[in-house]
């Protein structure tokens, strides 16, 4: 039986969707291994991290080990490969070291193939080449996060869909965070008087379309939206993306927010809007549903399956449809309450513990347990 190691490069990166997935999955695996809920392997599980990390997670069972002379891709491709020889390596996000054969690798979507213009040339060129090469490694086991992503990856990487495991994400991370409602005062917001969107500046997030829809909404419903603001939570300065969201009246860009602040923003919003053109999973939609924030969502990619029966959908290419969907939620309190209740029920089906359990089964099988 081979020992198991985890690629901890995500600890050097800002927390967006894929890093959130990696972080919560590793923390949940650690807690379940420490409690004995998951079968423990004969040898210790290591979390291999570069010399410089943003955070040091508090782990009870998994053993962090720092090492290597490089950072970024060089650390991942060279130092990490050297440090995990003879082990099964699990990469929960980012890049797989292509020299390593015993590997379980999470690829959340095929966006660099489907929507290449959403990324800088350097970023998309690297990951398109990398993921194609990784897909040819005979010992690699691939995991993704939705049926939509499985079909996309199978098509672009020329793989049998049955060879790709689908393990959805969970939602408990924000439920476990203490809400910080003082963020509303800091941003000069009032409960129920803002529409919330969450995401980075990737053009796939379609914030330009959302800005157009919000302008249409205010023009057509001046009384209901006189004090309404649009809040976009998340960083808009990420260098890997090709464009950023511009400034507009009655639009608040929060920048980075803590989990407690984000929870308070969800819980006090009039509704949540997810206008994306492309999502491999759609974690902000799941977060909104889990916290009872009425959700209005694009009908593209993975989102209809995630929000089935619990969100109001629209065509992301139509600012008019988006504006009408938001207006329906804002002006119909009965419908708004129904969406909130259905969202909570839907979110219960997605838990980090189940994500961890299914992932661990694949890791144990790869190690020979």
The string of pLDDT tens digits covering residues 236-289 is: 554 433 444 445 679 999 988 999 999 999 999 999 999 999 999 999 999 999
How many beta carbons lie within 10 A of that of residue 368, not counting itself?
Answer: 10
Name the residue ranges covered by the structural domains of the chain. Answer: 4-170+351-367, 173-347
End-to-end CA distance of the chain: 6
Cβ 153 vs Cβ 269: under 8 Å: no
Question: Tens digit of pLDDT for each residue in 141-172?
Answer: 999 999 999 999 999 999 999 999 999 999 99
Give Cβ neighbours of residue 141 (< 8 Å, ≥ 6 apart): 103, 104, 105, 165, 362, 366
Three-class secondary structure of residue 106 per DSSP:
strand
| CA angle centred on 338, ends 332 and 344, rounded to 5° | 135
Q: Comparing 179 with 236, which gets the higher pLDDT?
A: 179
DSSP characters over 129-154: HHHHHHTT-TTEEEEESSHHHHHHHH
User: CA-CA distance, 210 to 203, in Å (whole number)?
Assistant: 11
**pLDDT at site 247:** 52
* pLDDT reported for residue 243: 45
- 78, with CB counted inside 10 A (0-12, 13-18, 19+), is middle
246 is written with which tokens? 């511009």
**Closest-CA residue to 319 (of 243, 223, 211, 230):** 211
CA distance 48 to 61: 14
Which residue in this structure is represented by tokens 């920048």? 255
What pLDDT does residue 248 have? 64
Per-residue pLDDT tens digits for 62-114: 999 988 888 888 999 999 988 899 999 999 998 889 989 899 999 999 999 99
User: pLDDT tens digits for 1-30?
Assistant: 899 999 999 998 888 889 999 999 999 999
Report CA Rg, the chain: 21
So what's the pLDDT on residue 237?
Answer: 53
Residue range 4-170+351-367 forms a domain whose CATH class is alpha beta
CATH architecture of residue range(s) 173-347: 3-Layer(aba) Sandwich (3.40)
- Distance between CA 262 and CA 211 in Å, rounded? 21
Backbone angles phi, psi at 53, to 5 degrees: -125, 150
Contacts of residue 311, Cβ cutoff 8 Å, sequence gap at least 6? 274, 285, 289, 295, 296, 297, 303, 339, 343
Global pTM value: 0.94
Residue 241 is predicted with a pLDDT of 39
Give me the chain's average pLDDT, please.
93
- Alpha carbon distance 297, 311 (integer Å): 6
Run of H or E residues at 197: strand 194-198
DSSP-derived pairing of the beta strands 251-255 and 63-66? unpaired
Do 4-170+351-367 and 173-347 agree at the fold level?
yes
């Amino acid at each position: 039986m081979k020992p198991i190691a985890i690629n901890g490069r995500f600890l050097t990166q800002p927390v967006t969707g894929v890093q959130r997935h990696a972080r919560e999955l590793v923390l949940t695996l650690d807690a379940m291994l420490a409690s004995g809920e998951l079968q423990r392997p004969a040898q210790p599980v290591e979390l291999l991290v570069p010399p410089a990390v943003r955070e040091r997670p508090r782990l009870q069972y998994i053993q962090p080990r720092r090492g290597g002379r490089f950072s970024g891709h060089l650390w991942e491709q060279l130092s990490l490969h050297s440090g995990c020889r003879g082990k099964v390596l699990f990469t929960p996000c980012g890049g797989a070291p292509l020299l390593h054969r015993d590997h379980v690798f999470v690829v959340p979507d095929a966006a660099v193939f489907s929507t290449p213009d959403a990324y800088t040339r350097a970023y998309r060129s690297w990951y398109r080449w990398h993921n194609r090469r990784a897909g040819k490694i005979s010992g690699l086991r691939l995991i993704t996060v939705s049926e939509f992503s499985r079909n996309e990856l199978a098509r672009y990487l020329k793989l049998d869909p049955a060879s790709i495991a689908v393990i959805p994400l969970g939602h408990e991370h924000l439920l476990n965070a203490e809400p910080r409602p003082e963020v509303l005062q800091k941003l000069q917001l009032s409960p129920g008087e803002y529409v919330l969107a969450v995401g980075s500046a990737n053009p796939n997030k379609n914030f330009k379309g959302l800005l157009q829809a919000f302008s249409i909404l205010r023009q057509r419903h001046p009384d209901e939206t006189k004090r309404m603001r649009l809040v976009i939570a998340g960083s808009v300065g990420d260098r890997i993306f090709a464009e950023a969201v511009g400034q507009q009246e009655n639009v608040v860009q929060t920048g980075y927010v803590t989990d407690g602040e984000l929870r308070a923003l969800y819980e006090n919003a009039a509704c949540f809007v997810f206008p994306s053109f492309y999502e491999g999973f759609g974690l902000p939609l799941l977060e909104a549903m889990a916290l009872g924030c009425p959700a209005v969502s694009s009908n593209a990619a993975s989102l209809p399956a995630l929000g089935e029966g619990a969100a109001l959908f629209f065509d992301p290419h139509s600012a008019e449809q988006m504006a009408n969907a938001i207006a329906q939620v804002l002006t119909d309190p009965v419908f708004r309450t129904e969406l909130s209740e259905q969202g909570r029920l839907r979110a219960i089906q997605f838990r980090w513990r189940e994500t961890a359990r299914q992932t661990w089964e694949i890791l144990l099988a790869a190690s020979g347990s």
